[in-house]
Chains A and B, each alone.
Chain A
Amino acid sequence: MKKVKLEDYIPLVGEATIEEIKLLAQQLKGARVQHINSTKTGGGVAEILNQLVPLMNEIGLEVEWDVIEGTEEFFDLTKSFHVALHGARTRITQKMFQIYKKMQVVNQEKIDKNADFVILHDPQPLGLSEFRQREKSKWIWCCHIDISEADTRVWRFLSPLVDLVDGAIFHIPQFTKADLDIPQYVMPPFIDAFSDKNRDLRESEIYKFLKKYGFSTDEKFILQVSRFDKLKDPLGALQAFKIVQKSFKVPFVYIGNFAPDDPPGKKVYEEFIQEANKVPGVTVIANPDPNDLVVNAFQRSASVILQKSIREGFGLVVTEAMWKKQAVIGGDTGGIRYQIVDEATGFLVNTVEGAAFWTRQLLSNPKLATLLGEQAYDRVRANFLPPHYLRNLLCVLLSVKHPGRGVACLNK
Chain B
Amino acid sequence: MKDKFQFFTEIGVVRWTGFTADSLGSLLEGLRDVPGSSIFYHLHHALFHRQRLTLHYVMNDFARWVHNTLEEKPLAEKLASVDPLQFDSIRGAREKLIRYVESYIGEIQVFPRVPKVRELYFMELRSFVIPAQVEVENLNDFINGLRRLGRGAMLHHFIEARYRRKGKYHNDFSEWLETYGAKEAAQKLDKLNPYLYDLETLRDKTIDILKAYREKS
Contact among B11, B13, B37, B149 for A187, CB-based, below 8 A: B13
Query: Cβ of A341 and Cβ of B54 under 8 Å apart?
Result: yes
B149 touches A405 (CB 8 A): no
A174-B116, A404-B126 given. 13 additional CB < 8 A pairs? A16-B151, A23-B11, A27-B130, A173-B16, A187-B14, A378-B51, A382-B51, A392-B13, A395-B12, A398-B128, A406-B124, A407-B12, A411-B131
Q: With a CB–CB cut-off of 8 A, which chain A residues contact B117?
A: 174, 333, 337
A173 to B42, CA, bound (A): 14
Provide 29 A-B residue pairs closer than 8 Å at the C-beta atoms, listed in order of the A residue. Answer: A15-B148, A16-B151, A16-B152, A19-B9, A23-B130, A23-B133, A24-B11, A27-B130, A173-B16, A174-B119, A174-B121, A184-B15, A185-B15, A186-B14, A186-B15, A341-B53, A341-B54, A342-B54, A343-B54, A344-B53, A375-B53, A395-B127, A402-B128, A404-B126, A406-B125, A407-B12, A407-B127, A407-B129, A411-B131
Q: Is there contact, CB below 8 Å, between B16 and A184? A: yes
**Residue of B11, B126, B129 most packed against chain A (CB within 10 A):** B126
- Please state if A378 and B50 are interface contacts (CB–CB under 8 Å): yes
Find residues 339-357 in chain A having any chain B CB closer than 8 Å to their own CB: 341-345
User: CB-CB contacts of A229-269 with B at 8 A, as 1s and 0s?
Assistant: 00000000000000000000000000000000000000000
Q: Is B123 an interface residue (CB 8 A)?
A: yes
Question: What CA separation (Å) do A173 and B54 show in the bound complex?
Answer: 21
- B residues with a Cβ closer than 8 A to A are 9-16, 18, 20, 35-37, 50-51, 53-54, 57, 116-117, 119, 121, 123-133, 148-152, 160
The 4 closest A-B pairs by CB, nearest first: A16-B150, A395-B13, A173-B121, A344-B53
Alpha-carbon gap, A174 to B121, bound state (A):
8
**Is there an interface contact between A408 and B127, defined as CB atoms closer than 8 Å?**
yes
Q: Does residue A132 face the partner (Cβ distance < 8 Å to B)?
A: no
Partner of B37, one of A24, A382, A406: A406
Chain A contact-residue range equals 35 or more
Are B132 and A399 in contact (CB-based, < 8 A)?
no
Cβ contacts under 8 Å, B37 to chain A: 405-406
Give chain B residues whose Cβ lies under 8 Å from the Cβ of A80.
none
A70 within 8 A of B: no
Bound state CA distance, A406 and B130, in angstroms? Answer: 14
> Contacts A379-B51, A406-B37, A410-B129 known; A19 to B148 CB distance under 8 Å?
yes
Report if A118 contacts B (CB, 8 A): no
**CB-CB nearest in chain B for A21:** B11
Which chain B residue has the least Cβ–Cβ distance from A403?
A: B126
In the assembly, what is the distance between CA of A412 and CA of B8, in Å? 12
B14 touches A20 (CB 8 A): no
Distance from A174 Cβ to chain B, minimum over Cβ atoms (Å)? 6
Q: Known A185-B15, A333-B117; judge A27-B148 contact (CB<8 A).
A: no
Report whether B132 and A19 are in contact in the complex, using a CB–CB cutoff of 8 Å. yes
